[in-house]
Structure 1
Amino acid sequence: MKLTNTHIEKLYKFTKKHYVEYYDVQTELVDHLANDIESICTENPRLTFEQARDTSFKKFGVFGFMNVVEKKQSQMTKKYFKIIFKFAKEWFQLPKIVLTILLFTGFYQLQNTSNAYTVYVTVFGFVFIAQVILTIINARTLKKEFNLTQKKWLFKNIINVQGLIQTAFISIYSFQYFFPNNAKEFLVMADFRKAFSAFFITFIVIFGYITLIVIPKKAEELLAETYPEYKLV
């Protein structure tokens, strides 16, 4: 059996019915199912399309497509963080390394002042709140796009929503773990702890700049690299 466009459309509906909401994941599954169905029908020509489809689906086990979706989500999340660290590495090369050193030096010297803890908390709070606000705005934008196109893209969702949520909470966890709990403790830190704190808050600023400004600006380019078919949507 050679599958027709009608069969392919049915497979898209089938994956969606089985809780695969992202178009890119649906496409991968549809390609796999289509090839498998054709092989099954070659071996047993008496089977109908639906019977061959169900036979293929059973190969995914009791959890159906869930494992595939989770694996794909993990893969795309890793890709997102690799992109972040790729851009972050640029800040430790010329000419951006100069600005990085100035930021680090400024934060380190700031620790000798009485209001250092307040400034650190304010900087971190600003980055965290900006990430939360952008997450809400992006989630609404994606919802509007879905209403127009009826397509969701996993990597686009990670770039605009899931990635920001994860980086925000990773940041707040790290801040609570690595920094003193009050201004008094902050002022009496040893030199190594001060240097580490200055480095960490510098990284938070750079990290925030990348997630809030750099990646959103390059989002369409990154999506087109990840999904060649995205250009056609």
Structure 2
Amino acid sequence: MDAATVRAAGRLDSVTAPQLRLVLDAALQHARLVAINLREVSFVDSTGRRLLVDATRRAHKRGSRLVVMDASAEVERSFALAETRALLDVLPGALGSTPNVAREPIDGVDPLRNPVNARIVTARVMDTDARALWTHGADGTIRRAWAPDAFDGTLMPPGARVEIYLDQHGAVNGWWHTSSRLAINQRHLAAVDGGPEFATGALVCQGSCELLWQAPAAAQVLGHDERCLTCAGPLALA
């Protein structure tokens, strides 16, 4: 398993910290990336803060990572006052209470017109290895999406908001950073022989959005007569 999410609620103190430690240890044994969602945590005392710091250190020693996300302003202040925040991997730019639902069409561009898209979610880029794009949605879901080998963290900084297109099984079809127009189509990625680094290409949309899609399986996408993930326009090799 690549990633896992742990949700905490209520008070994180000397009473509840031991139970949370057991859960975090179990998650870190099976996942390389663990995110702990503190959205429903109302209070964290010194025991709770020490637990998070210790778990972060244990994760680093194992070659894994523990990310703290969606902490309330009050909990964030407690981290800052206790000089704990610098010792934690706190995800910047959390979505807070933003719903994890499909957005309304913009300028006539509606990705749900494409039958391969069952859902659109808004997510934030996590502060992790740039060779893979890790995101989290408002519901705490972590997703790993493909990114080109030449992926530059300056183009997609932690906290950047992206749209992710999902099929009916919840798999990622692709994603779009609407601010920079960096767009990725990863349909048929699993069918690429030799890995995506040997089969990357670009697809240009002939429709209304005119996006240039980076694709690890461009030939396979065209071979299935698929259309642009955003506006459902026809695609051509760039």
Length-normalised TM-score, structure 1? 0.22
Q: Which has the higher helix share?
A: 1
Higher relative contact order (CA 8 A, sep 6+): 1
TM-score by length of 2: 0.21
Kindly name which structure, 1 or 2, has the bigger radius of gyration based on alpha carbons.
1
